[in-house]
Structure 1
């Protein structure tokens, strides 16, 4: 994989601490706004990135790349993913994939037409602990209730209350608790259960954006509640409850450091099958293999999941009367 990184924010800094351990990834370029030039040059020196760009057209036309990692703010995902696909590059796009299912469908169709790999970088779908949870679901019997809570007070909320609207709370930039935190819960649940029968989002809305909320998903015989908050905090945890036992997860579902399975017969086991301490490692190993093998079938399967998630996002935002972008 000959990779260009689009962006220079916190997610890129985190990504760079891990990517050198993923075999066959060459960091060919990093592209960002002129204001981030000094930061990008520091990253270039520290991580042996070949070129630095502040112009996207120049990066896409000049850099020796076959893949772009779009790690820009949420509202820019659609635009820059489309530019990269039109330039004939495979794309790995950070979560949330885009802001609407219409945008997602358009990009998926463009990638398919051009024979390119397009995937969303959503860690939990690739983690070995997530695969282990899937394997152990049957032992729980009929799944009755799933509850996920990812609540994390944001220091940006103080500024928001004072009238300063930063991207994390800006509806025009794809902000809000659903897109920032609850998106992980949605991926977690849809990956286990598929598309829900109905979606309702009970959101606390301030200045046209959800600062916290409870998302309710209905499945045949199963009720799901996904809570996320940026205006308050609580222990971050998730549970899957069946009529024969439960799985309990401490911590956020985008990390999945391990889980506990507890069955009605008294059997209790703590499971941790992680491959690497960094949550992004396994997904990028998978992406590298997908691109090296030009495995469009695998990419299409992953995109089907992302499209199902975007349908839930559309329904949730509509139910709460929130418009992004």
Structure 2
């Protein structure tokens, strides 16, 4: 894969570090918008990137890039992804994918027409934990509840409270807690259960109309998934799925998924008394810790390079369907954008 980097912000710096051990990726160029030229030059020098552009069309036309990684502000994801596909380039697009379901569907169709790949860069789908969860799900019996919480006090929130609105707190930039942070929780639900029957969102709205935190409720057949995301407050982060025969839980940030505990009922054992004196079912406890990686984003880039270089359209289609499920959930969340 000959990769072009689009953007110069923090997520791009993280991505460049994450890609370092991925031998299949050759970074051939970086694009910086004119006002970020100096940052682009610094990244090119630091990571040995041979070309730096401030004209996006020029990078797409004149470089040997076959794939672009887009790490720009959310509101321009669609524009930059579409232009890359029109130039016959594969696209890795940072989360949240785009603004609307129709935009997402349009990009997927355009990619097929051009024989290209397009992916959402979402770490949830590229961690061994999600595979283990899918494997363990039938052991839990009938699912009764999913709860997830990704709450992290934003480093930009104090500025926001003072009236200095960063793009991360600007609804015009397609930002906010639902798209920026709760989206990880949504991906767990979509990957494990698909599209819900009904969606509702209960946000805390800031002075400019942005959702600084909120609770998303997804109603499935027989259970609900309740996902909390906050940029205005802190809380322990977790993902829990409960069934009639057990539960499983991630303790930690959903975008990292550092572990998984699976607790299932041992039908061969008698009930036991818990610390409160109640009789509880005997259980079997399994723990899973994924292999350590260079960076939380490294595995997704390994997967993208493998799929693109191997022309594995079937696997790419599976990821595309999951992204469309998430876009459907977001669009139907009843969040009123300002």
**TM-score greater than 0.5 by the shorter chain:** yes
Tell me which residue corresponds to 1:165: 165
Q: What SS does structure 1 have at the residue aligned with 2:119?
A: strand
Task: Confirm whether residue 219 of structure 1 aligns to residue 220 of structure 2.
Answer: yes
Task: Confirm whether residue 266 of structure 1 aligns to residue 252 of structure 2.
Answer: no
Q: Given that residues 32 and 39 in structure 2 are in contact (C-alpha distance below 8 angstroms), is that contact kept between their aligned partners in structure 1?
A: no
Tell me which residue corresponds to 1:150: 150
Report how far residue 254 of structure 1 moved: 1.2
Tell me which residue corresponds to 1:40: 40
Tell me the distance in 1 between the aligned counterparts of 2:321 and 2:130: 18
Tell me which residue corresponds to 1:239: 240
Tell me the distance in 1 between the aligned counterparts of 2:335 and 2:28: 42
CA shift digits 1:124-155 (9 cap, x unpaired): 11111111111111111111111000011123
Moved more, 199-208 or 150-159: 150-159
Q: How does 1:60-209 map to 2 (within 5 A)?
A: 60-206=60-206, 207-209=208-210
Tell me the distance in 2 between the aligned counterparts of 1:241 and 1:267: 15
Q: 1:304 aligns with which of 304, 321, 324?
A: 321
Q: What SS does structure 2 have at the residue aligned with 1:21?
A: coil
CA root-mean-square deviation: 1.3
Tell me which residue corresponds to 1:321: 336
**What is the number of equivalent residue pairs in this alignment?**
321
CA shift digits 1:198-245 (9 cap, x unpaired): 001011112221111100001111211000011111111121111111
Runs of at least 5 residues in structure 2 that lack an aligned partner in the other structure:
266-281
Q: 1:276 aligns with which of 293, 297, 308?
A: 293
Which structure has the larger Rg? Answer: 2
Tell me the distance in 1 between the aligned counterparts of 2:214 and 2:76: 24
CA shift digits 1:254-274 (9 cap, x unpaired): 111111112233222221123
Tell me the distance in 2 between the aligned counterparts of 1:170 and 1:48: 34
Q: How does 1:10-29 map to 2 (within 5 A)?
A: 10-29=10-29
Tell me the distance in 2 between the aligned counterparts of 1:311 and 1:25: 32
Q: Given that residues 251 and 257 in structure 1 are in contact (C-alpha distance below 8 angstroms), is that contact kept between their aligned partners in structure 2?
A: yes
CA shift digits 1:63-98 (9 cap, x unpaired): 111000011111111010011001110001010000
Q: Given that residues 116 and 296 in structure 1 are in contact (C-alpha distance below 8 angstroms), is that contact kept between their aligned partners in structure 2?
A: no
Q: What SS does structure 1 have at the residue aligned with 2:8?
A: coil
Q: Given that residues 70 and 77 in structure 1 are in contact (C-alpha distance below 8 angstroms), is that contact kept between their aligned partners in structure 2?
A: yes
Q: Given that residues 128 and 275 in structure 1 are in contact (C-alpha distance below 8 angstroms), is that contact kept between their aligned partners in structure 2?
A: no
Moved more, 92-101 or 294-303: 294-303
Moved more, 264-273 or 44-53: 264-273
Q: What SS does structure 1 have at the residue aligned with 2:303?
A: helix
Tell me which residue corresponds to 2:50: 50
Q: How does 1:248-267 map to 2 (within 5 A)?
A: 248-264=249-265, 265-267=282-284
Q: Given that residues 132 and 273 in structure 1 are in contact (C-alpha distance below 8 angstroms), is that contact kept between their aligned partners in structure 2?
A: no
Q: Given that residues 127 and 274 in structure 1 are in contact (C-alpha distance below 8 angstroms), is that contact kept between their aligned partners in structure 2?
A: no
